[in-house]
Structure 1
Amino acid sequence: MTSCNNAIKKMLPKTYLRNHVAREIHVALIHFKDLVPLMDKYTYNDGTTKVLMSLTGTIPILFKDMSYNIPICVWLEESYPQSAPICYVKPTWEMMILQGNYVSSNGDILLPYLQEWKQGKCDLVSLLQVMVATFGDLPPICMQPHPQPAQASCSLQFHKQSQVLSRPDGSLYLTLSTEDGQSVPQGNETSC
């Protein structure tokens, strides 16, 4: 337990409250095993960037008696735990964000717990538990709908509109039909 805590502490720049932040991250990783701590570049809305600690991965939710993994990223600024984490839903390419009361169209997580953040009363594990409970009631993502093809593939159309027949001499030939089912004239047959 201490070695993991120390490894996290070594990742954190000295500008963080290293002991406190490392301990909170360690406890979060015990409860949420699919999250990974990373130091990475965060880009603010004004375009400025800063290397911050993040927890990235998935949290498990239960929705309509089915288990799902919600991809998230939780950023901890150097002022953490005085300031609330910056949290996002991070859908994969096959998912789409469901904008709602607690998630914006770009994936910002807007929970009251974050808006009412108070140092000493709020912590990382509780935040993740609130996400699990909230997203279990209303998931923030869904799978992208796959558009139905407007028409069948060429191969399927070809098979529907063709037929292999045999001649009396045993040779095979392919007949083609038009879209309305009429045979294409004999001159267009192909011998096999």
Structure 2
Amino acid sequence: MPHFEDVIKKMLPKTYHRKHVAHEIYVALHHFKSLVPMMDKYVYNDGTTKNLMSLTGTIPVMFADQTYNIPVCLWFEESYPQTAPICYVRPTREMMFLSGKYISSNGEVTLPYLEEWKNSECDLMTLLRVMVVMFGEIPPVCMQSHPETEEAPCWLQFHRQPEVLSKADGSLYLHLAREDDLPFQQENETNC
């Protein structure tokens, strides 16, 4: 049976520093058991895509004497370990971002450790440990109280499924019911 580190190494394209990357991921998975390695498409800000190695899952973070599992995704470019991983917090539907000091509005992690990455001094395990400590001080996500009504955007709050109905003459029309049974507003009026 092949060693798990060898399995990771085989997942990586030859353009990666396969032995080094596989070893770092293997060590990280030993300590952070809910992370999963996979090759997947990463979409850059300019819209280009590339198949990159990623680690996806949760990291346990202590906040206010409770352990929370923070969902993250770390992407490794072929230049890793010369360049830092691209890291994101990936909230579930029940969560929302708390963008701020270390999290951008799209969930990208912007820790000083990543910004000051040095190949010979920085590694994946230390990065994950820094994330655990920093997220314990400043949580990147929180639970939404009522995600469908309070936090949902206006268009989503008032979205209703139309019904296709037929008239006596056989023609079809769409009927959109309101929850409050009030008549719809006139043209060019809105609730949003």
Backbone CA RMSD of aligned residues: 1.8
Equivalent position SS for 2:3 = helix
Q: Which has the larger radius of gyration?
A: 1
TM-score by length of 1: 0.75
Which string of whole-angstrom CA distances, capped at 9 and with x for unpartnered residues, describes residues 80-108 of structure 1? 00000000000001100001110011100
In the alignment, the residues of structure 2 paired with residue 21 and residue 69 of structure 1 have an alpha-carbon distance, to the nearest angstrom, of 24
Give distance in 1, aligned partners of 2:134 and 2:2: 32
* Aligned counterparts of 2:113 and 2:17: Cα–Cα separation in 1: 21
Answer yes or no: is 1:24 the counterpart of 2:24: yes
Q: CA deviation at 1:2?
A: 6.9
- Measured after TM superposition, the shift of residue 144 of structure 1 is 1.3
Q: Distance in 2 between matches of 1:97 and 1:13?
A: 33
Change (3 A) 1:147 1:32: closer
Percent identity over the alignment is 67
TM-score between both structures, scaled by the size of structure 2: 0.75
Separation of aligned partners in 1, 2:100 and 2:127: 18
What displacement does 1:147 show? 6.9
Query: How big is the shift at 1:120?
Result: 1.3
Structure 1: tracts of 5 or more residues without a match: 151-192
Q: Is the 8 A contact 2:60 2:70 kept in 1?
A: yes
Corresponding residue number in structure 1 for 2:113: 113
Question: CA separation in 2, counterparts of 1:98 and 1:23?
Answer: 33
Aligned length: 150
Q: Distance in 1 between matches of 2:79 and 2:88?
A: 18
- Give 1:116-131 correspondences, 5 Å limit: 116-131=116-131
For 1:90, the equivalent position in structure 2 comes to 90
Q: Deviations over 1:63-87 (max 9, x none)?
A: 0100100000000000000000000
Task: Find the counterpart in structure 2 of residue 180 from structure 1.
Answer: none
Structure 2 unmatched ranges of 5 or more:
151-192
CA distance in 2, matches of 1:110, 1:92: 20
CA distance in structure 2 between the aligned counterparts of 1:2 and 1:103, rounded to whole angstroms = 38
Aligned with 2:81: secondary structure? coil
Contact 2:53–2:75 (Cα < 8 Å) also in 1: yes
